[in-house]
Amino acid sequence: MTSPALVPAPAPLALPRMVVASAGLTKRFGRLEVLRGVDFAVRAGRVTAILGPNGAGKSTLIKILLGLVRPDGGSIAMHGTDVGEDPAYRARIGYMPQQARFPENLTGREVVRLLRDLRDDAVPEDDDLFEGFGLARELDKPVRALSGGTRQKLNAAVAFMFRPSLLILDEPTAGLDPIASGVLKARILRARAEGVSVLLSSHVLSELEELVDDVIFLVEGQVEFQGSLRRLKETTGETRLERAIARLMQRGTR
Amino acid sequence: MTAVKVLRYELRDLRRSRWLLGYVLLLLALTDALLRFGGGGPRAVLSLMNVVLVFVPLVSVVFGTMYLYGARDFIELLLAQPVGRGSLFAGLYGGLAAPLAIGFLLGVGLPFLWSGQGDGSLAGALAMLLATGVLLTLVFTALAFLVSLLFEDRAKGLGAAILVWLAATVLYDAVIVLVATAFTDYPLELPMLGLIVLNPVDLGRVLLLLQFDTAALMGYTGAVFERFFGTLVGLAVATGALALWCAGPLGLARARFRGKDF
């Protein structure tokens, strides 16, 4: 793979302040109303966490952003333009699903090449995480021979590979050992420093504390709180994210 | 050309699949054995007819469904890339149907080649055998897509796939025989024709019987078909109906794939 050294990081100032924003998103599955009018925005160059109890609509929201789920109502704009039906907007999104299952008989290198082939723009890849995780030796083995942790590393590395302006990470550290988890967290912070926006969901709140700038808190398909971590702590009067979230949840059930 | 890219990688994945390898080896062994010990080419072709009509649909629909459930997560990852759903679907279908069809062609065709029995008078029958097998592979792979898109649950999907196969191979014939015996006193030709066209496996059988010139000897359906259409038109009608059997489920599956929430 090519060295990323010569490629300048995208200039944060060139981006609009909102990388992605939604207006009035609604979605129901059968009789279940999963999203009831969600407005949210991810600010450029910041790490935003989507939090909320189980069934609050976090993964549906993420899937709508990626075009995996079609909303019943509302719209999504990326970099200020409505994404509509055109899949091209996804070229600027790096996605790390909660659990990656790659074709068993392909090697890691072949998976990487396929994902590159599906993109027309010839962005030189960022193979930073491949090095950070020490994946080079594993890339020529078939996926079925890789351990769960190694697949998850590959999964993370692929999300960062195409220099996205928006990273969507679903439970990024689940299944990673502490060292790999540390490597990934450092990489997330560096991406932010380069002006990349990161949207992540995680259940491990203590882990988010050091990463997160903004919080979107969903309860029963609605945005209960949206704002910076500092403001969350101020409004709830708590100093730790975990406690602040607990407060929000109490407020939500009342 | 998203479809071609996806197809190429899926082909490469399946080429290394042990299940597919097992399928090809089994066909090779069976065809070779029939050619060696089964009393020569013509009889081997007749025996292989049942392999084509029963075994090929089974493998196509069950293996196809299993593969698609296994690929669910990866398909989601592909959908999150900047690709359209329509072309992704085309690539996925081609990448699954092509290796199954090629595997079938190799498994049945190679023994005829190396035994030197595939030419001369047998060439036409063999060509029809191979063509019917490929058509049935395409039809039942399309049905596998439809099944895997209709059922979220893997176990239900697998059950549905087996049911589709059972219905097309065993149950349907039972219905035809029932109808034929229950209404022996009535002219049944036209209703029978209708029943045949409604089942891809029966269409495959008609194709083979017409080609083998044994239509009248080999059961009711072939005889009816030949008497009604004559050989040439019968071939055209049966082939056309099979093509529809491929296009119909495939179109439904594509529409479902495009509108689906993953």
Q: Kind and range of the H or E element at A48?
A: strand A47-51
Half-sphere exposure of B171 (CA within 13 A, CB side): 7
CATH, domain range A18-252: 3.40.50.300
Taking CB atoms and an 8 Å limit, are A119 and B17 in contact across chains? no
The predicted model gives A138-150 an average pLDDT of 91
Q: Which of residues 164-193 of A touch B (CB under 8 A)?
A: none
Residue with the bigger pLDDT between B212 and A234: it is A234
Query: What pLDDT is attached to residue A253?
Result: 54
List, for residues A201-221, the tens digit of each pLDDT value. 887 777 788 889 999 998 888
CB-CB neighbors (< 8 A) of A70 in chain B: 259, 261
A142 contacts B16? CB cut-off 8 A: yes
Closest to B13 (Cα-Cα) out of B81, B78, B57 = B78
Backbone angles phi, psi at A108, to 5 degrees: -55, -40
How confident is the model over A76-113, as pLDDT tens digits? 888 878 887 788 889 889 999 988 889 989 999 999 98
- Beta carbons of B12 and A68 less than 8 Å apart: no
Q: How confident is the model at residue A3 (pLDDT cuts 50, 70, 90)?
A: very low
Amino acid at A119: R
Which one of B20, B72, B261 would you mutate to disrupt binding with A, by most A Cβ within 10 Å of its Cβ? B261
Q: Which of residues 104-123 of A touch B (CB under 8 A)?
A: 104-106, 110, 114-115, 117-120
Instruction: Kindly give the parts of chain B with pLDDT less than 70.
Output: 213-223
**Average pLDDT rounded to a whole number, residues A66-76:** 90
Predicted confidence at residue B168, as pLDDT, reads 92
Total domains, chain B:
1
Closest residue to B261, CB basis, from A69, A105, A115: A69
Q: Which residues of B touch A120 (CB under 8 A)?
A: 82
Nearest CB partner across the interface for A119, out of B10, B17, B82: B82
Distance from the Cα of B88 to chain A's closest Cα (Å) equals 10
Pull the structure tokens for residue B221: 């359906």
User: Mind listing the pLDDT tens digit for each residue in B168-214?
Assistant: 988 988 888 888 888 878 877 777 788 888 899 988 888 888 777 65
**A66 Cα to chain B: minimum distance (Å):** 5
Cβ distance A142 to B10 less than 8 Å, yes or no, reads: no
Q: What is the mean pLDDT of chain A?
A: 85
- Chain A 47-86, CB below 8 Å of chain B: which residues? 63, 66-70
Q: What residues in B contact A171, CB-CB < 8 Å?
A: none
pLDDT for res A13: 45
Q: What separation in angstroms does the CA of A183 have from each of A162, A165, A176, B121, B258?
A: 18, 20, 10, 69, 37
Is the minimum CB–CB distance between A142 and chain B shorter than 8 Å? yes
* Stronger pLDDT, A36 or A85, i.e. the higher one: A36
Predicted local confidence at residue A243, as pLDDT: 85
Give residue A14's pLDDT band: very low, low, confident or very high (50, 70, 90): very low
Contact between residue B59 and residue B19 where contact means Cβ atoms under 8 Å apart: no
- Per the structure, the complete domain to which residue B180 belongs is given by 2-259
- CB atoms A67 and B79 under 8 Å: yes
pLDDT of residue A12: 44
**Residue of A104, A113, A163 best to disrupt the B interface, most CBs of B under 10 A:** A104
Which residues of chain B are within 8 Å of residue A145 when distances are taken between CB atoms? none
Q: Mind telling me how many Å the CA of A94 is from chain B's nearest CA?
A: 8
CA distance A143 to A4: 25
Q: What percent of chain A has pLDDT over 70?
A: 92
- Pairing assessment for the beta strands A197-201 and A73-78 based on DSSP bridges: unpaired
**Looking at beta carbons, which residues of chain A come within 8 Å of B15?**
105
What ipTM was predicted for this assembly? Answer: 0.85
Which residues of B are less than 8 Å from A67 in CB distance? 79-80
Chain A residues close to B79, C-beta within 8 Å:
66-68
> Shortest CA distance to A42 belongs to which of A12, A77, A11?
A77
Q: Give the domain ranges of chain A.
A: 18-252
* Number of CB pairs, chain A paired with chain B, less than 8 A apart: 81
Buried b (16+ CB within 10 A) or exposed e, A17-32: ebbbbbeebebeeeee
Determine the pLDDT at residue A245.
Answer: 84
Residue A254 has pLDDT above 70, yes or no: no
> Which residues of chain A does B9 touch, with a Cβ-Cβ cutoff of 8 Å?
103, 106, 110, 114
Q: Both tokens of residue A40?
A: 């949210």
Choose from A114, A120, A161, A169 for mutation: most chain B CBs within 10 A. Answer: A114
Q: Which helix (H) or strand (E) holds B244?
A: helix B231-259
Cα of B132 to nearest chain A Cα, Å: 29
**For position B58, what pLDDT does the model report?**
96
**Nearest by CB: A95 against B12, B80, B259:** B80
Query: Which stretch of A34-43, A59-68, A204-213 has the lowest confidence by average pLDDT?
Result: A204-213
Q: Is the pLDDT of residue A117 over 80?
A: yes
B33-37 contacts: CB < 8 A, separation 24 or more?
Answer: B35/B111, B35/B112, B35/B115, B35/B117, B36/B115
Contact at 8 Å (CB) between B137 and B100?
A: yes
Chain B residues inside the 8 Å CB shell of A63 = 261-262
Task: Find the helix or strand (DSSP H, E) in which A96 lies.
Answer: strand A93-96
* Direct distance between the N- and C-terminal alpha carbons of chain A, in angstroms, rounded to an integer: 54
Q: Do B82 and A90 touch (CB under 8 A)?
A: yes
Cβ <8 Å between A100 and B73: yes
In A, which residues are within 8 Å of B84 by CB distance? 87
